[in-house]
Structure 1
Amino acid sequence: MKAFFFFGIAGLIIFEIIKVYFIMPFPGSQHDEVIALSYFLFSYRWIFRIVFFILIVVGFSTAWKKSWKWLLILVMLIAIAVCWFFNFKALADKMFLQPVHLVLKNKTENKVNENQQVIAIEINGEAKAYPIEFLTFHHQVQDSIGGKKFIATYCSVCRSGRFFEPVVNGKEEKFRLVGMDHFNAMFEDATTKSWWRQENGKAIAGSLKGTFLPELPCMQLSIKKYFELFPDGLVMQPDSAFKDEFDAEAKYEQGKYSGGLTGTDSSSWQKKSWVVGVTAGKESKVYDWSELKKVRVINDVIGNKNIVLALSSDDKSFIAFERPTSENFHISNDTLFTTTDKYDFAGRNYSAPNEHLKMINAYQEFWHSWNYFHPESKK
């Protein structure tokens, strides 16, 4: 009977560690295909806990009589400490919190440095932007634009920013940060408890496995370029409740970190090198950031679509469009032009303001991330 007690204590400690280990970036935890096991352990956590608790209770009396009492007290304190740490400190949604006060300001009132980068969304002439500095901590910000709800998401370990509609089974949904899979942030919806990848909005565990969240257009720009393109736009301001959590020097977004989970490789096509992935329909291609900085504009064909990818003179803002014809685009002073037309960096025709190039999503990302989630993508 004494063995029941120690088996229950050991089992509880191991279970609480493993349950979190596979969905957080601990050494060796993110390389294997263990999401099904992780989801099973998390879904049935209370059954495991009850079983181990019963074993502890059944064996406690005998263990108390036949073992050193200080040893029993010690192992119980260890079990309590492990349970507390892995449920109240080491879980993603306990470490990275949502804004308490979501405030967005216009150009006149904005306090965020104009050289910092944002992921921005524009729908029907209304624009909002979210600094990467804040999103690397929050991971998601829920907001609305033009009456449409959305979540702005970012994963610093993948260097991936996305906008999604928080709609599951046709209904508006709430999400919490649950952990990560293959170094990419995962969210859990409140109703079905399915787990969703941040990089592509795909449900990878739960009853909705295989389905996708609706994705919205996304631009990555400097704040200066953002206000040039959208002078009436709004920018998220820092929440004073988390001022100590933000990367005030913007070292991450400038690629000044080296090593670790969020460091940057300066050479091309290394795990932590920057790339830009472009998707057009079901096809995608990936481009080296260093090469894009050299040429400024890339004309290409993805699937059956002619595309153009352009980098601003600020070396931060980039955007991609479908080309109306096979004619190549050129860039000068952040103006895109062909032999007959000129467009601003947002794709608006200078001669015909109501004529817009069709934007397609282009994503800056670490090469290891894009390569894993888009293995079919061509260089």
Structure 2
Amino acid sequence: MNRASRIWLFVGVLLLLVLLESARVYFIMPFPGSQLGLNEPESSGLGRVKLAYWLHHNAGWLRIIGLLILVYPAYQLVAKPSRAWHRYVVVGLLLIYGGVFYMINREMMADQMFLQPIHKRVVPMSQNQIPLDKLVLGFESVGQATAYPIQLIGYHHQVRDTVGGQPIMVTYCTVCRTGRVFSPLVDGQADEFRLVGMDHFNAMFEDKRTGTWWRQATGEAVIGPLRGKAVAELTARQMTLREWAKEYPNTRVLQADSTFAEEFKGMKNYERGLSKGSLTRRDSASWKPKSWVIGVERAGFAKAYDWNQLQKKRILNDVLGGAPILLTLASDSVSFGVWSRRLGVKTLTFHYANRRLTDQETGSIWTWRGQCIDGALKGQKLSSIPQAHQEFWHSWRSFHPNTTKAN
């Protein structure tokens, strides 16, 4: 092999190593052209997520082969250079590759950008320091309730906890505005998960036991040995901490880890839709990709309700999958609920006027929580619809391709 061939071999293999590292992060992070909508066809051959998964699990031996190939031309160009600057070019290029390797694997990988709490504190309301107007995901089990501020879990992406003796995994994807609580049990075994990137603009987690990748919005296994399975979603509700604490006065509240003060500061305006990032800011108009909707799923049927319409009317009566439902908004205009309008054998129709929610059939007065506080039905309570989430329209539409839009 002549000197020119050694130079081209060295440069070519080094370039391939750089492309290997870049591809590992490109296909699972929100770079231009890297993410597909759910209904877009995959390109021929390996799909993008499949390619990313293959690279992720085979990068080690690919690096070793590449570096072994580099040894001979690098030695020749450094030890026996025809020109003195050859050795400086070789060393410089190797340093560049080292820099790329470090940046991608230590700075740009999802689990390096969004870290887990180091000092996790979950305290009673008497010790709480989270403002009451902050949005939270609330979860209750066996009489114990806990609130997880979106400002915090939106940065962490997931927080593990135990509520009422039940292990849970509280997750959030800011690009989809999807808050979900899952059981971390996979095939009956508790597992650990790490944030690995995203698919169709939704966060993906990798389980430690099998290396399977899981979609955050649905809990489904996207690719890997457990593909096609799903972790169980648990019922969580989104509202302000003030409203959650009214319902559960003895609630615990996740506190901010001071280690991530700057990161939390950057999330301060997200929950109200005022984020400056193109991927996380809200479209104020209706039915735009980043418009807010409430997505409701029941008995295999899915429907999206315009957040602007709910804010205007305060309540929405509808029928989904043959079941009459009610959407309500609290006086704070950010806490919401979704309920069944069936009460025993009756189907109620609701009206909102003069800041009062009443049913047409008896004239009884109700709260936004589906509780009757006055009238013939006093003491009655509507059943909640658990599969109801506020999220971006592009997200709900992507992961519920058969969804309909409420009029």
Structure-2-length-normalised TM-score = 0.87
Candidates 381, 385, 388, aligned match of 1:359: 385
2:349 matched to which residue of 1?
A: 328
Displacement after TM superposition at 1:66 (Å): 4.6
Verify the 8 A CA contact 2:221 2:227 in the aligned structure 1: yes
- 1:250-289 correspondence runs (5 A): 250-258=268-276, 260-289=278-307
Supply the distance in 2 between the matched residues of 1:336 and 1:73 (Cα, whole angstroms): 77
What secondary structure does 2:161 align onto? strand
- Is 1:24 the equivalent of 2:29? yes
Greater mean alpha carbon deviation, residues 274-283 or residues 339-348: 339-348
Kindly provide the CA deviation profile for residues 172-206 of structure 1, in whole angstroms up to 9, marking residues without a partner as x: 11100111112111100000110011111111010
The reply to whether residue 203 of structure 1 matches residue 221 of structure 2 is yes
Is 1:374 the equivalent of 2:400? Answer: yes
- Tell whether the 8 Å contact from 1:335 to 1:342 is kept in structure 2 after alignment: yes
Shift of 1:337: 4.9
Partner of 1:193: 211
Structure 2 distance, partners of 1:143, 1:102, is: 9
Distance 1:335 1:162, change over 3 A: farther
The answer to whether the Cα contact below 8 Å between 1:322 and 1:359 also exists between their aligned partners in 2 is yes
SS at match of 1:105: strand
Task: Say which of 147, 152, 162 aligns to 1:144.
Answer: 162
Residue of structure 2 in register with 1:167 after alignment: 185
Corresponding residue number in structure 1 for 2:45: none
2 CA distance for matches of 1:104 and 1:352?
36
List alignment gaps of at least 5 residues for structure 1.
none
Structure 1 residues 343, 230: closer, same or farther in 2, change over 3 A?
A: farther
| 1:125 alignment counterpart | 143
Return the alpha-carbon distance in structure 1 between the equivalents of residues 151 and 117 of structure 2.
Answer: 13
Matched residue, 1:177: 195
Match of residue 333 from structure 2:
315
* Cα distance, 1:79–1:334 mapped onto 2, change above 3 Å: farther
Q: Shift of residue 258 of structure 1?
A: 4.4
- Report deviation, 1:319: 1.2
Instruction: Please report how far the alpha carbon of residue 121 of structure 1 lies from its aligned counterpart in structure 2 after TM superposition.
Output: 1.0
Match of 2:75 in 1: 61
What is the identity, as a one-letter code, of the residue corresponding to 1:7?
Answer: G
Matched, 1:12 2:17: yes
Change (3 A) 1:251 1:336: farther
Asked if the contact 2:141–2:166 (Cα under 8 Å) also holds between the matched residues in 1, the reply is: no
Structure whose CA Rg is larger: 2
Question: Cα RMSD over matched residues?
Answer: 2.1
Q: Secondary structure at the match of 1:119?
A: strand
1:246 alignment partner, SS class: helix
Contact 1:4-1:58 at 8 Å conserved across structures: no
Q: Distance in 2 between matches of 1:342 and 1:276?
A: 24
Residues 131 and 335 from structure 1, CA distance in 2 versus in 1: closer, same or farther, beyond 3 angstroms? farther
Aligned length: 379
For structure 2, the residue ranges without an aligned partner over 5 or more in a row are 43-47
For the pair 1:52 / 2:77, whether they are aligned, the reply is no
Could you tell me which amino acid in structure 2 is paired with residue 50 of structure 1? Answer: I
CA distance in 1, matches of 2:150, 2:140: 17
Identity among equivalent pairs (%): 40
The SS at the match of 2:404 is: coil
AA in 2 matched with 1:364 = Q
DSSP 3-state at the match of 1:359: coil
- Contact 1:322/1:360 (8 A) holds in 2: no
CA-CA distance at 1:361 after TM superposition: 2.3
* Cα separation, 2, equivalents of 1:234 and 1:71: 59
Alpha-carbon distance, 1:342 to partner: 5.5
1:352: how far off? 7.6
Assess if the C-alpha contact under 8 Å between 1:179 and 1:186 holds in 2. Answer: yes
User: What is the distance in 1 between the residues matched to 2:234 and 2:306?
Assistant: 24
Deviation for aligned residue 1:248 = 6.8
Superimposed CA distance per residue, residues 204-252 of structure 1 (whole angstroms, 9 cap, x where no aligned partner): 0101111111000111101111111111111111111111210377311
Q: Quick check: 1:295 aligned with 2:313? A: yes
Match of 2:98?
80
Larger displacement relative to structure 2 (119-128 or 177-186): 119-128
- 2:51 matched to which residue of 1? 37
Instruction: Tell me if structure 2 keeps the 8 A contact 1:130–1:236.
Output: yes
Deviation at 1:347, TM superposition (A): 3.9
Distance 1:204 1:334 in 2: 46
Q: Normalization by structure 1: what TM-score? A: 0.94
Structure 1 SS opposite 2:127? coil
**Amino acid across the alignment from 1:167:** L
- For 1:213 and 1:364, locate their aligned partners in 2 and report how far apart those are by CA, in whole Å: 20
> What code does the residue aligned with 2:54 have?
F
Q: Amino acid of the residue matched to residue 24 of structure 1? A: M
1:215 matched residue in structure 2: 233
